[in-house]
Structure 1
């Protein structure tokens, strides 16, 4: 029996697991959650495996009708959560029952929210993953009337301490590892890139974040297409950087200045048009330390157990 019926899907709501790994050779990108930390913590809160399928909700607007009991939680962007019209805390589990209405309003801060349910959502799989990549025809956005099924039963009530919740800002610094093509920039062009406050363009989506600011001359006239990773800072002909994200193409022929580290991509994915970013270069050794700290924090994060009265 289905657990939810979709009353309103919002602008863009998709199934996502941790991503489709190992298929770049046939041109498939990984997809997966844009804000991995929020996605992973949502699954951890309902005691799922981190790779369980959750919903990524862009901007909000999702309304579900509950058809049988389960446990859910909402993390990520600061979008209001209502159960039967009553506001409920984010970053905390909630028990829902048959007949309940779950409504996620539009985000006041941030872009992407993650709804996890006990056991994860039962969803189609392609190439060993449920990650939706619409550009590659691997799944589609939720539609009104769709049925959703949670694979688990109700779980204990947990919440994440507010000091551990995401801190969303409109101005952030992105740490990146310089790539081998960075050396083709003159010292003046490198300094210009690092000193610029770039604005997020309205042309941003799950493929990439286009930036507006000082145009950078790469000093490279022609290069062969080569593989590109998530977080790559690509420099097209107009000199305006693009940060490639989860649904990017797998190869590209533009110069690449380097790659933004994982923890900072989470924060980037919550920025809207007009927000500001700066760049700072770090060493590969520092990037490895940052990644290990980021992974350890997700793996070992502790929650507060709630009593029934606290979770009501």
Structure 2
């Protein structure tokens, strides 16, 4: 099956689970910004975990030359097949020659398209994930985002043939991408270098998502916080780490972050909240609250077990 890109949207990439475990070799982790939406897209499209998807910002349009099964997920996602609106968070049967249009009604949010089958895209350092900054991955293997006229092949899964087969994620189980609830933060080992006043300021202030956001990191504007650390060696950075540079404006490190950083860190965004934060757009207001690491671990285990149980019920 051949997929042809008719409209590339604003910024569209091929992503998979990323280059896990390769930071020590100098490669950024990469992977989907919203891993929850990515995982659900693959599940609903009858794919194995980690199968490549398209992560899109803006309206993307594709054409397929064979029958296939797809699923679209993400914040305020919408989908059209041959210009007819169809449901998201649900497997959809698409006929040969059809066009698929998908995107988000909220400009800047990410939407994921999964297509059932074995994606024939090159892997670089063990992953097909596109990292433009490092010139890795993508269809050309050099980190290029998708462009109009790009084509790639998918070997369809012959076991998924029943047109009545459908997986749907009910509305009540879909992620709430609002920011009424605070983003949970696990204190890091440099937490003690921030004064009680600085910590209190961070936890009681409302921060605005700035226009300086990308797959590398999200910058926030608001009340400044400062650390008493003046001499800090560069060290490895985890997904969600909150760095505080000299201007006191926090930066949350995301999927395409650099492998090392030298700013003090307040802590790390909980893995339960990083996908929600990744869907924030410039101008949105966010609050942060600290959480004990054991409580965060329990929340993560509970969230993953609930998802696996729900997937078992949907099967």
Q: Is the 8 A contact 2:104 2:111 kept in 1?
A: no
Pick the aligned partner of 1:204 from 203, 209, 213.
213
Instruction: Identify the residue that residue 154 of structure 2 maps to in structure 1.
Output: 150
Instruction: Identify the residue that residue 39 of structure 1 maps to in structure 2.
Output: 38
Question: Does residue 195 of structure 2 align to residue 186 of structure 1?
Answer: yes
Give 4+ residue runs of structure 1 displaced > 3 Å after superposition.
Answer: 302-306
The Cα shift of 1:261 comes to 1.0
Instruction: Identify the residue that residue 252 of structure 1 maps to in structure 2.
Output: 261
Structure 2 runs not aligned, ≥5 long:
138-143
Instruction: Identify the residue that residue 295 of structure 2 maps to in structure 1.
Output: 286
Structure 1 runs not aligned, ≥5 long:
307-312
TM-score by length of structure 2 reads 0.92
Secondary structure of the 2:306 match is: helix
Of 118-127 and 191-200, deviating more is: 118-127
Pick the aligned partner of 1:177 from 157, 182, 186.
186
Deviations 1:177-230 (A, max 9, x none): 111211111111111111110000010010011000001111111211111100
| More relative contact order, 1 or 2 (CA 8 Å, 6+ apart) | 1
Counterpart-to-counterpart distance in 1, 2:14 and 2:101 = 17
The Cα shift of 1:171 comes to 4.4
Q: What are the equivalent positions in structure 2 for 1:235-246 lying under 5 Å apart?
A: 235-246=244-255
Pick the aligned partner of 1:124 from 110, 122, 125.
122
Secondary structure of the 2:228 match is: coil
Q: Is the 8 A contact 2:75 2:104 kept in 1?
A: no
* Counterparts in 2 of 1:281 and 1:106: CA distance versus 1, 3 Å: closer
Instruction: Identify the residue that residue 16 of structure 1 maps to in structure 2.
Output: 15
Instruction: Identify the residue that residue 29 of structure 1 maps to in structure 2.
Output: 28
RMSD: 1.7
Question: Does residue 57 of structure 2 align to residue 53 of structure 1?
Answer: no
Secondary structure of the 1:136 match is: coil
Instruction: Identify the residue that residue 262 of structure 1 maps to in structure 2.
Output: 271
The Cα shift of 1:67 comes to 0.9
Question: Does residue 84 of structure 2 align to residue 86 of structure 1?
Answer: yes
TM-score by length of structure 1 reads 0.93
* Counterparts in 2 of 1:141 and 1:147: CA distance versus 1, 3 Å: same
